[in-house]
Structure 1
Amino acid sequence: MTQGPIRREAVSDQLFAVLRDRILGGELPPGSPLTAERDLAAEFGVNRHAVREAVKRLQQARLVEVSHGGRTLVLNWRRSAGLDLALGIAASDGGPSVEDLTRDAMEMRACVGADAARLCAIRCSEAAAAQIVEAADRYARTGPDLTELAEADIAWWRLIVEGSGNLAYLLSFNSLLDGTLPVAEVPDDLRTAELLDVEAHQRLASHIAAREAGAVEQLARALLSLSVPSAPRKAVR
Protein backbone atom coordinates (compact mmCIF):
# COMPACT_ATOMS: atom_id res chain seq x y z
CA MET A 1 0.00 0.00 0.00
CA THR A 2 1.49 3.32 -1.08
CA GLN A 3 1.82 5.93 1.67
CA GLY A 4 2.57 8.85 -0.65
CA PRO A 5 5.23 11.55 -0.37
CA ILE A 6 6.48 12.31 3.12
CA ARG A 7 7.50 15.54 4.78
CA ARG A 8 10.83 16.99 3.68
CA GLU A 9 12.34 17.50 7.13
CA ALA A 10 14.44 14.57 8.34
CA VAL A 11 13.43 12.60 5.27
CA SER A 12 15.66 9.60 5.94
CA ASP A 13 14.42 9.42 9.56
CA GLN A 14 10.81 9.41 8.42
CA LEU A 15 11.47 6.80 5.77
CA PHE A 16 13.31 4.63 8.29
CA ALA A 17 10.30 4.83 10.64
CA VAL A 18 7.87 3.83 7.88
CA LEU A 19 9.99 0.86 6.80
CA ARG A 20 10.59 -0.14 10.42
CA ASP A 21 6.83 -0.17 11.02
CA ARG A 22 6.27 -2.31 7.93
CA ILE A 23 8.79 -4.83 9.24
CA LEU A 24 7.53 -4.84 12.83
CA GLY A 25 3.91 -5.00 11.70
CA GLY A 26 4.57 -7.95 9.34
CA GLU A 27 3.85 -6.14 6.08
CA LEU A 28 7.46 -6.99 5.16
CA PRO A 29 7.85 -10.51 6.61
CA PRO A 30 11.19 -12.16 7.49
CA GLY A 31 13.05 -13.42 4.45
CA SER A 32 11.30 -11.12 2.01
CA PRO A 33 13.31 -8.66 -0.09
CA LEU A 34 13.12 -5.03 0.89
CA THR A 35 11.46 -2.86 -1.71
CA ALA A 36 14.00 -1.76 -4.32
CA GLU A 37 15.77 1.56 -3.74
CA ARG A 38 14.40 3.18 -6.89
CA ASP A 39 10.85 2.05 -6.07
CA LEU A 40 11.05 3.48 -2.55
CA ALA A 41 12.37 6.76 -3.91
CA ALA A 42 9.46 6.93 -6.35
CA GLU A 43 6.84 5.88 -3.79
CA PHE A 44 7.79 8.51 -1.24
CA GLY A 45 8.99 11.25 -3.57
CA VAL A 46 12.50 11.36 -2.10
CA ASN A 47 15.98 11.07 -3.53
CA ARG A 48 17.91 7.81 -3.45
CA HIS A 49 20.43 9.18 -0.96
CA ALA A 50 17.64 9.45 1.64
CA VAL A 51 16.62 5.87 0.85
CA ARG A 52 20.18 4.62 1.32
CA GLU A 53 20.45 6.41 4.67
CA ALA A 54 17.18 4.86 5.83
CA VAL A 55 18.27 1.38 4.74
CA LYS A 56 21.60 1.89 6.52
CA ARG A 57 19.71 2.57 9.74
CA LEU A 58 17.62 -0.57 9.19
CA GLN A 59 20.86 -2.53 8.91
CA GLN A 60 22.24 -0.94 12.08
CA ALA A 61 19.04 -1.92 13.89
CA ARG A 62 19.49 -5.47 12.53
CA LEU A 63 16.14 -5.39 10.79
CA VAL A 64 17.60 -6.15 7.34
CA GLU A 65 20.78 -7.60 5.88
CA VAL A 66 22.41 -7.48 2.47
CA SER A 67 22.62 -10.98 1.02
CA HIS A 68 25.51 -12.32 -1.04
CA GLY A 69 23.50 -11.66 -4.19
CA GLY A 70 23.24 -7.99 -3.32
CA ARG A 71 19.58 -8.06 -2.31
CA THR A 72 18.48 -6.52 0.97
CA LEU A 73 16.47 -9.08 2.91
CA VAL A 74 14.20 -8.55 5.90
CA LEU A 75 15.37 -10.29 9.08
CA ASN A 76 13.29 -11.86 11.82
CA TRP A 77 13.63 -8.96 14.26
CA ARG A 78 12.62 -11.12 17.22
CA ARG A 79 15.85 -13.06 16.66
CA SER A 80 18.21 -10.41 15.34
CA ALA A 81 17.37 -7.06 16.99
CA GLY A 82 18.68 -5.81 20.31
CA LEU A 83 17.41 -3.64 23.15
CA ASP A 84 18.17 -0.53 21.11
CA LEU A 85 15.04 -1.32 19.08
CA ALA A 86 12.79 -0.97 22.13
CA LEU A 87 12.01 2.71 21.54
CA GLY A 88 11.22 1.98 17.91
CA ILE A 89 8.81 -0.77 18.88
CA ALA A 90 7.00 1.61 21.21
CA ALA A 91 6.70 4.23 18.48
CA SER A 92 5.60 1.71 15.86
CA ASP A 93 2.07 1.13 14.64
CA GLY A 94 2.79 -2.62 14.72
CA GLY A 95 4.39 -4.96 17.19
CA PRO A 96 3.98 -5.11 20.99
CA SER A 97 2.09 -2.40 22.84
CA VAL A 98 3.71 -0.02 25.31
CA GLU A 99 1.82 -1.85 28.07
CA ASP A 100 3.38 -5.18 27.04
CA LEU A 101 6.81 -3.55 26.84
CA THR A 102 6.33 -2.05 30.28
CA ARG A 103 5.59 -5.45 31.76
CA ASP A 104 8.56 -6.95 29.92
CA ALA A 105 10.88 -4.18 31.10
CA MET A 106 9.75 -4.52 34.71
CA GLU A 107 10.22 -8.29 34.55
CA MET A 108 13.72 -7.76 33.20
CA ARG A 109 14.34 -5.20 35.95
CA ALA A 110 13.38 -7.78 38.60
CA CYS A 111 15.63 -10.45 37.09
CA VAL A 112 18.62 -8.18 36.53
CA GLY A 113 18.21 -6.50 39.91
CA ALA A 114 18.00 -9.81 41.77
CA ASP A 115 21.15 -11.20 40.17
CA ALA A 116 23.00 -7.89 40.46
CA ALA A 117 22.22 -7.86 44.18
CA ARG A 118 23.43 -11.46 44.48
CA LEU A 119 26.71 -10.60 42.75
CA CYS A 120 27.05 -7.49 44.87
CA ALA A 121 26.88 -9.60 48.03
CA ILE A 122 29.70 -11.75 46.65
CA ARG A 123 31.91 -9.13 45.01
CA CYS A 124 31.50 -5.68 46.53
CA SER A 125 34.11 -4.20 48.82
CA GLU A 126 33.50 -3.66 52.53
CA ALA A 127 33.37 0.07 51.87
CA ALA A 128 30.73 -0.41 49.18
CA ALA A 129 28.67 -2.67 51.47
CA ALA A 130 28.81 -0.01 54.17
CA GLN A 131 27.60 2.61 51.66
CA ILE A 132 24.65 0.38 50.73
CA VAL A 133 23.67 -0.05 54.38
CA GLU A 134 23.98 3.71 54.99
CA ALA A 135 21.90 4.43 51.89
CA ALA A 136 19.20 2.03 53.11
CA ASP A 137 19.14 3.83 56.46
CA ARG A 138 18.77 7.17 54.67
CA TYR A 139 16.00 5.61 52.60
CA ALA A 140 14.17 4.72 55.81
CA ARG A 141 14.25 8.39 56.81
CA THR A 142 12.97 9.57 53.39
CA GLY A 143 9.40 10.23 52.46
CA PRO A 144 6.57 9.59 52.71
CA ASP A 145 6.67 11.61 49.47
CA LEU A 146 6.84 8.99 46.70
CA THR A 147 8.92 11.19 44.41
CA GLU A 148 11.61 11.53 47.07
CA LEU A 149 11.43 7.81 47.79
CA ALA A 150 11.81 7.00 44.09
CA GLU A 151 14.92 9.18 43.83
CA ALA A 152 16.43 7.60 46.94
CA ASP A 153 15.54 4.14 45.62
CA ILE A 154 17.38 4.79 42.34
CA ALA A 155 20.47 6.04 44.16
CA TRP A 156 20.42 2.95 46.41
CA TRP A 157 20.02 0.51 43.54
CA ARG A 158 22.82 2.22 41.62
CA LEU A 159 25.17 1.40 44.49
CA ILE A 160 24.04 -2.23 44.37
CA VAL A 161 24.37 -2.57 40.59
CA GLU A 162 27.78 -0.91 40.64
CA GLY A 163 28.77 -3.25 43.46
CA SER A 164 27.88 -6.25 41.29
CA GLY A 165 30.85 -5.49 39.06
CA ASN A 166 28.75 -6.41 36.00
CA LEU A 167 29.02 -3.75 33.29
CA ALA A 168 26.16 -5.20 31.22
CA TYR A 169 23.84 -4.94 34.23
CA LEU A 170 24.96 -1.36 34.83
CA LEU A 171 24.27 -0.37 31.22
CA SER A 172 20.85 -2.05 31.39
CA PHE A 173 20.13 -0.11 34.57
CA ASN A 174 21.07 3.13 32.80
CA SER A 175 18.83 2.23 29.85
CA LEU A 176 15.84 1.76 32.13
CA LEU A 177 16.47 5.13 33.74
CA ASP A 178 17.09 7.22 30.63
CA GLY A 179 14.13 5.96 28.66
CA THR A 180 15.99 3.81 26.15
CA LEU A 181 13.54 1.13 27.18
CA PRO A 182 9.99 2.45 27.00
CA VAL A 183 8.17 2.11 30.29
CA ALA A 184 4.67 3.47 30.74
CA GLU A 185 3.37 4.53 34.12
CA VAL A 186 3.40 1.56 36.45
CA PRO A 187 0.10 1.38 38.39
CA ASP A 188 0.40 3.43 41.57
CA ASP A 189 -0.58 0.56 43.85
CA LEU A 190 2.27 -1.58 42.51
CA ARG A 191 4.99 1.08 42.58
CA THR A 192 3.84 2.32 45.97
CA ALA A 193 4.03 -1.16 47.47
CA GLU A 194 7.66 -1.48 46.46
CA LEU A 195 8.74 2.00 47.51
CA LEU A 196 7.00 1.87 50.88
CA ASP A 197 8.52 -1.49 51.80
CA VAL A 198 11.29 0.21 53.78
CA GLU A 199 11.90 -2.86 55.91
CA ALA A 200 12.73 -4.94 52.82
CA HIS A 201 15.24 -2.32 51.67
CA GLN A 202 17.00 -2.40 55.02
CA ARG A 203 16.99 -6.21 55.26
CA LEU A 204 18.38 -6.47 51.75
CA ALA A 205 21.22 -4.10 52.63
CA SER A 206 21.96 -6.14 55.77
CA HIS A 207 22.07 -9.38 53.79
CA ILE A 208 24.50 -7.80 51.33
CA ALA A 209 26.76 -6.66 54.15
CA ALA A 210 26.61 -10.17 55.64
CA ARG A 211 27.48 -11.70 52.22
CA GLU A 212 24.31 -13.82 52.25
CA ALA A 213 23.99 -14.08 48.48
CA GLY A 214 21.07 -16.54 48.40
CA ALA A 215 18.94 -14.50 50.76
CA VAL A 216 19.85 -11.32 48.86
CA GLU A 217 18.72 -12.73 45.52
CA GLN A 218 15.43 -14.04 46.91
CA LEU A 219 14.54 -10.83 48.72
CA ALA A 220 15.59 -8.56 45.83
CA ARG A 221 13.43 -10.51 43.39
CA ALA A 222 10.44 -10.38 45.73
CA LEU A 223 10.85 -6.63 46.29
CA LEU A 224 11.27 -5.73 42.62
CA SER A 225 8.45 -8.04 41.55
CA LEU A 226 6.02 -5.88 43.49
CA SER A 227 6.17 -3.41 40.57
CA VAL A 228 5.59 -5.99 37.81
CA PRO A 229 2.09 -5.72 36.29
CA SER A 230 0.39 -9.10 36.52
CA ALA A 231 -1.73 -9.06 33.36
CA PRO A 232 -1.00 -12.15 31.20
CA ARG A 233 0.55 -11.88 27.77
CA LYS A 234 1.36 -14.21 24.91
CA ALA A 235 4.78 -15.82 24.70
CA VAL A 236 7.28 -14.35 22.24
CA ARG A 237 7.14 -16.25 18.95
Structure 2
Amino acid sequence: MPLGPLRPSPLVEQAAEHLRDQITGGTWPVGTKLPGETTLAASLGVGRSTVREALRALSGAGLVQARQGAGVFVIASEAKEDWSAQLRRAAVTDVYEVRIGIEVEAARLAARRRTDEDIAGLSAALAGRRDAAGEGDAAFVDADIALHAAVVAAAHNPVLSALFTEFVPSLRRGLIDMLELLDLRSGDPNHGDDDHAALVDAVARGDGDAAGRTLREDLEQTLARLTAL
Protein backbone atom coordinates (compact mmCIF):
# COMPACT_ATOMS: atom_id res chain seq x y z
CA MET A 1 0.00 0.00 0.00
CA PRO A 2 2.01 3.05 -1.21
CA LEU A 3 1.90 6.14 0.96
CA GLY A 4 1.81 8.79 -1.78
CA PRO A 5 1.70 12.58 -1.51
CA LEU A 6 -1.08 14.35 0.37
CA ARG A 7 -3.44 17.18 -0.38
CA PRO A 8 -2.53 20.49 1.27
CA SER A 9 -5.06 20.42 4.13
CA PRO A 10 -5.68 19.23 6.77
CA LEU A 11 -2.23 17.70 6.67
CA VAL A 12 -2.01 16.27 10.18
CA GLU A 13 -5.33 14.45 9.86
CA GLN A 14 -4.40 13.11 6.45
CA ALA A 15 -0.98 12.00 7.61
CA ALA A 16 -2.47 10.23 10.60
CA GLU A 17 -5.04 8.52 8.38
CA HIS A 18 -2.40 7.29 5.92
CA LEU A 19 -0.16 5.99 8.69
CA ARG A 20 -3.13 4.35 10.40
CA ASP A 21 -3.97 2.56 7.15
CA GLN A 22 -0.48 1.07 7.04
CA ILE A 23 -0.98 -0.31 10.54
CA THR A 24 -4.56 -1.56 10.31
CA GLY A 25 -3.91 -2.93 6.82
CA GLY A 26 -1.07 -5.08 8.07
CA THR A 27 1.78 -3.32 6.26
CA TRP A 28 3.29 -2.52 9.64
CA PRO A 29 2.39 -5.38 12.04
CA VAL A 30 2.48 -5.12 15.82
CA GLY A 31 6.08 -4.86 16.96
CA THR A 32 7.27 -3.09 13.83
CA LYS A 33 9.49 -0.07 14.21
CA LEU A 34 8.19 2.76 12.02
CA PRO A 35 10.47 4.58 9.61
CA GLY A 36 12.02 7.74 11.03
CA GLU A 37 10.30 11.11 10.90
CA THR A 38 12.49 12.29 8.02
CA THR A 39 11.67 9.22 5.92
CA LEU A 40 7.95 9.45 6.66
CA ALA A 41 7.90 13.17 5.93
CA ALA A 42 9.52 12.60 2.55
CA SER A 43 7.12 9.74 1.69
CA LEU A 44 4.06 11.78 2.62
CA GLY A 45 5.29 15.06 1.19
CA VAL A 46 4.90 16.96 4.48
CA GLY A 47 7.14 18.47 7.11
CA ARG A 48 8.55 16.60 10.09
CA SER A 49 6.36 18.60 12.46
CA THR A 50 3.26 17.29 10.65
CA VAL A 51 4.52 13.72 10.96
CA ARG A 52 5.27 14.29 14.63
CA GLU A 53 1.69 15.48 15.29
CA ALA A 54 0.26 12.57 13.30
CA LEU A 55 2.29 10.09 15.34
CA ARG A 56 1.08 11.76 18.50
CA ALA A 57 -2.50 11.23 17.34
CA LEU A 58 -1.79 7.55 16.64
CA SER A 59 -0.22 7.22 20.07
CA GLY A 60 -3.37 8.68 21.62
CA ALA A 61 -5.38 6.09 19.70
CA GLY A 62 -3.25 3.34 21.23
CA LEU A 63 -1.66 2.26 17.94
CA VAL A 64 1.96 3.30 18.43
CA GLN A 65 4.35 4.00 21.25
CA ALA A 66 7.54 6.04 21.25
CA ARG A 67 10.45 4.39 23.05
CA GLN A 68 13.17 6.75 24.08
CA GLY A 69 16.29 6.26 22.06
CA ALA A 70 14.75 3.42 20.05
CA GLY A 71 12.05 4.96 17.87
CA VAL A 72 8.29 4.57 17.41
CA PHE A 73 6.80 1.07 17.45
CA VAL A 74 3.42 -0.36 16.51
CA ILE A 75 1.72 -1.73 19.65
CA ALA A 76 -1.80 -2.51 18.34
CA SER A 77 -3.47 -3.19 15.01
CA GLU A 78 -6.77 -1.55 15.90
CA ALA A 79 -7.37 1.84 17.47
CA LYS A 80 -8.89 1.84 20.90
CA GLU A 81 -12.39 3.24 21.07
CA ASP A 82 -12.54 6.63 22.75
CA TRP A 83 -14.79 7.41 25.69
CA SER A 84 -17.31 9.41 23.66
CA ALA A 85 -17.72 6.58 21.16
CA GLN A 86 -18.27 4.08 23.97
CA LEU A 87 -20.97 6.28 25.46
CA ARG A 88 -22.73 6.60 22.11
CA ARG A 89 -22.96 2.81 21.89
CA ALA A 90 -23.80 2.21 25.54
CA ALA A 91 -27.31 1.37 26.70
CA VAL A 92 -28.90 4.39 28.34
CA THR A 93 -29.53 2.32 31.48
CA ASP A 94 -25.79 1.65 31.80
CA VAL A 95 -25.07 5.34 31.40
CA TYR A 96 -27.77 6.17 33.93
CA GLU A 97 -26.30 3.89 36.59
CA VAL A 98 -23.01 5.76 36.34
CA ARG A 99 -24.84 9.08 36.19
CA ILE A 100 -26.41 8.37 39.56
CA GLY A 101 -23.04 7.93 41.22
CA ILE A 102 -21.63 11.09 39.66
CA GLU A 103 -24.59 13.38 40.23
CA VAL A 104 -25.39 12.29 43.76
CA GLU A 105 -21.84 13.08 44.84
CA ALA A 106 -21.97 16.33 42.87
CA ALA A 107 -25.16 17.32 44.71
CA ARG A 108 -23.51 16.67 48.07
CA LEU A 109 -20.51 18.76 47.09
CA ALA A 110 -22.73 21.49 45.64
CA ALA A 111 -24.52 21.86 48.96
CA ARG A 112 -21.17 22.53 50.65
CA ARG A 113 -19.57 24.68 47.97
CA ARG A 114 -22.41 26.61 46.32
CA THR A 115 -22.04 30.34 46.03
CA ASP A 116 -24.72 33.00 45.83
CA GLU A 117 -24.20 33.00 42.09
CA ASP A 118 -24.72 29.23 41.98
CA ILE A 119 -27.96 29.52 43.95
CA ALA A 120 -29.22 32.15 41.55
CA GLY A 121 -28.29 29.89 38.65
CA LEU A 122 -30.13 26.95 40.18
CA SER A 123 -33.24 29.05 40.75
CA ALA A 124 -33.12 30.26 37.15
CA ALA A 125 -32.66 26.71 35.87
CA LEU A 126 -35.64 25.51 37.93
CA ALA A 127 -37.73 28.35 36.53
CA GLY A 128 -36.56 27.41 33.04
CA ARG A 129 -37.65 23.82 33.61
CA ARG A 130 -41.08 25.03 34.70
CA ASP A 131 -41.37 27.32 31.67
CA ALA A 132 -40.52 24.39 29.40
CA ALA A 133 -43.44 22.40 30.81
CA GLY A 134 -45.64 23.95 28.14
CA GLU A 135 -43.31 22.89 25.34
CA GLY A 136 -42.52 19.57 23.65
CA ASP A 137 -40.63 16.68 25.20
CA ALA A 138 -37.27 17.62 23.66
CA ALA A 139 -37.40 21.18 25.02
CA PHE A 140 -38.49 19.90 28.42
CA VAL A 141 -35.63 17.38 28.54
CA ASP A 142 -33.15 20.10 27.58
CA ALA A 143 -34.41 22.28 30.42
CA ASP A 144 -34.25 19.34 32.83
CA ILE A 145 -30.65 18.58 31.84
CA ALA A 146 -29.76 22.27 32.22
CA LEU A 147 -30.95 22.13 35.84
CA HIS A 148 -28.92 19.03 36.56
CA ALA A 149 -25.91 20.63 34.88
CA ALA A 150 -26.31 23.64 37.18
CA VAL A 151 -26.19 21.34 40.21
CA VAL A 152 -23.04 19.66 38.93
CA ALA A 153 -21.46 23.05 38.17
CA ALA A 154 -22.16 24.18 41.74
CA ALA A 155 -19.91 21.36 42.97
CA HIS A 156 -16.97 23.27 41.45
CA ASN A 157 -15.22 20.10 40.36
CA PRO A 158 -14.11 20.28 36.72
CA VAL A 159 -13.78 16.48 36.44
CA LEU A 160 -17.39 15.93 37.51
CA SER A 161 -18.52 18.65 35.10
CA ALA A 162 -16.58 17.07 32.23
CA LEU A 163 -18.00 13.61 32.95
CA PHE A 164 -21.55 14.95 33.07
CA THR A 165 -21.03 16.77 29.77
CA GLU A 166 -19.92 13.49 28.15
CA PHE A 167 -23.12 11.80 29.33
CA VAL A 168 -25.51 14.46 28.04
CA PRO A 169 -26.06 13.18 24.44
CA SER A 170 -26.91 9.64 25.60
CA LEU A 171 -29.07 10.94 28.44
CA ARG A 172 -30.95 13.30 26.18
CA ARG A 173 -31.87 10.59 23.68
CA GLY A 174 -32.92 8.15 26.40
CA LEU A 175 -35.04 10.66 28.30
CA ILE A 176 -36.85 11.89 25.20
CA ASP A 177 -37.62 8.30 24.20
CA MET A 178 -38.87 7.52 27.70
CA LEU A 179 -41.21 10.50 27.84
CA GLU A 180 -42.61 9.69 24.41
CA LEU A 181 -43.05 5.97 25.03
CA LEU A 182 -44.53 6.27 28.52
CA ASP A 183 -46.42 9.49 27.86
CA LEU A 184 -45.41 10.67 31.34
CA ARG A 185 -46.25 14.30 30.74
CA SER A 186 -49.78 13.86 29.42
CA GLY A 187 -51.28 14.32 32.88
CA ASP A 188 -48.38 16.24 34.40
CA PRO A 189 -46.55 18.49 31.90
CA ASN A 190 -44.05 19.50 34.59
CA HIS A 191 -43.23 15.93 35.55
CA GLY A 192 -40.94 15.72 38.60
CA ASP A 193 -41.20 19.37 39.63
CA ASP A 194 -41.54 18.65 43.37
CA ASP A 195 -38.38 16.54 43.43
CA HIS A 196 -36.37 19.12 41.50
CA ALA A 197 -37.61 21.96 43.69
CA ALA A 198 -36.60 19.95 46.78
CA LEU A 199 -33.17 19.35 45.26
CA VAL A 200 -32.59 23.04 44.61
CA ASP A 201 -33.79 23.90 48.10
CA ALA A 202 -31.47 21.36 49.73
CA VAL A 203 -28.45 22.64 47.82
CA ALA A 204 -29.34 26.25 48.65
CA ARG A 205 -29.70 25.38 52.35
CA GLY A 206 -26.38 23.58 52.33
CA ASP A 207 -27.91 20.24 53.29
CA GLY A 208 -25.73 17.75 51.43
CA ASP A 209 -27.45 14.66 52.81
CA ALA A 210 -30.87 15.87 51.73
CA ALA A 211 -29.57 16.96 48.33
CA GLY A 212 -27.93 13.59 47.69
CA ARG A 213 -30.92 11.62 48.95
CA THR A 214 -33.46 13.63 46.95
CA LEU A 215 -31.47 13.33 43.74
CA ARG A 216 -30.79 9.62 44.20
CA GLU A 217 -34.49 8.86 44.67
CA ASP A 218 -35.43 10.88 41.59
CA LEU A 219 -32.76 9.31 39.38
CA GLU A 220 -33.46 5.78 40.58
CA GLN A 221 -37.16 6.21 39.74
CA THR A 222 -36.20 7.29 36.24
CA LEU A 223 -33.75 4.40 35.89
CA ALA A 224 -36.52 1.98 36.85
CA ARG A 225 -38.71 3.41 34.09
CA LEU A 226 -35.90 3.17 31.57
CA THR A 227 -35.15 -0.42 32.56
CA ALA A 228 -38.81 -1.33 32.03
CA LEU A 229 -38.87 -0.02 28.45
Alignment TM-score, normalising by the size of structure 1: 0.60
Q: Distance in 2 between matches of 1:133 and 1:57?
A: 43
Q: 1:144 to 1:127 in 2, by over 3 A?
A: same
**1:63 Cα offset (Å):** 5.2
Give 1:142-161 correspondences, 5 Å limit.
142=132, 143-161=134-152
Q: Distance in 1 between matches of 2:223 and 2:114?
A: 24
Equivalent residue, structure 1, for 2:15: 15
Q: Distance in 2 between matches of 1:204 and 1:226?
A: 18
Q: 1:189 to 1:101 in 2, by over 3 A?
A: closer
Equivalent residue, structure 2, for 1:219: 217
- Contact 1:129–1:209 (Cα < 8 Å) also in 2: no
Q: Distance in 1 between matches of 2:171 and 2:5?
A: 29
Give 1:79-228 correspondences, 5 Å limit.
85-86=82-83, 90=85, 98-100=88-90, 108-125=98-115, 128-129=118-119, 132-133=122-123, 135-142=125-132, 143-175=134-166, 186=173, 188-190=176-178, 192=180, 196=185, 198-210=190-202, 211=207, 212-222=210-220, 225=223
Equivalent residue, structure 2, for 1:53: 53
Q: Distance in 2 between matches of 1:26 and 1:194?
A: 49
**1:55 Cα offset (Å):** 0.8
Q: Distance in 1 between matches of 2:19 and 2:191?
A: 49
Q: 1:226 to 1:47 in 2, by over 3 A?
A: farther
What's the CA shift string for 1:81-112, capped at 9, x where partnerless?
A: 8x9x446xx4xxxxx69424877666544442
* Aligned-pair identity (%): 23
- Contact 2:34–2:74 (Cα < 8 Å) also in 1: no
Q: 1:101 to 1:138 in 2, by over 3 A?
A: closer
Q: Which ranges of structure 2 fall in alignment gaps of 5 or more residues?
A: none
Q: Distance in 1 between matches of 2:159 and 2:55?
A: 28
**1:6 Cα offset (Å):** 6.5
Question: Superposition RMSD on alpha carbons, in Å?
Answer: 4.8
Alignment TM-score, normalising by the size of structure 2: 0.62
- Contact 2:6–2:44 (Cα < 8 Å) also in 1: no
Give the SS at the match of 2:192: helix
Give the SS at the match of 2:173: coil
Q: Distance in 2 between matches of 1:208 and 1:32?
A: 55
- Between Structure 1 and Structure 2, the one with more helix by share is 2
Aligned length: 213
**1:54 Cα offset (Å):** 0.8
**1:53 Cα offset (Å):** 2.9
Q: Distance in 2 between matches of 1:112 and 1:214?
A: 11
Q: Distance in 2 between matches of 1:28 and 1:226?
A: 49
Q: Which of 1 and 2 has greater Rg?
A: 2
Q: Distance in 1 between matches of 2:138 and 2:104?
A: 23
**1:61 Cα offset (Å):** 5.9
Q: Distance in 2 between matches of 1:105 and 1:18?
A: 34
Q: Which ranges of structure 1 fall in alignment gaps of 5 or more residues?
A: 91-95, 232-237
**1:203 Cα offset (Å):** 1.0
**1:19 Cα offset (Å):** 4.5
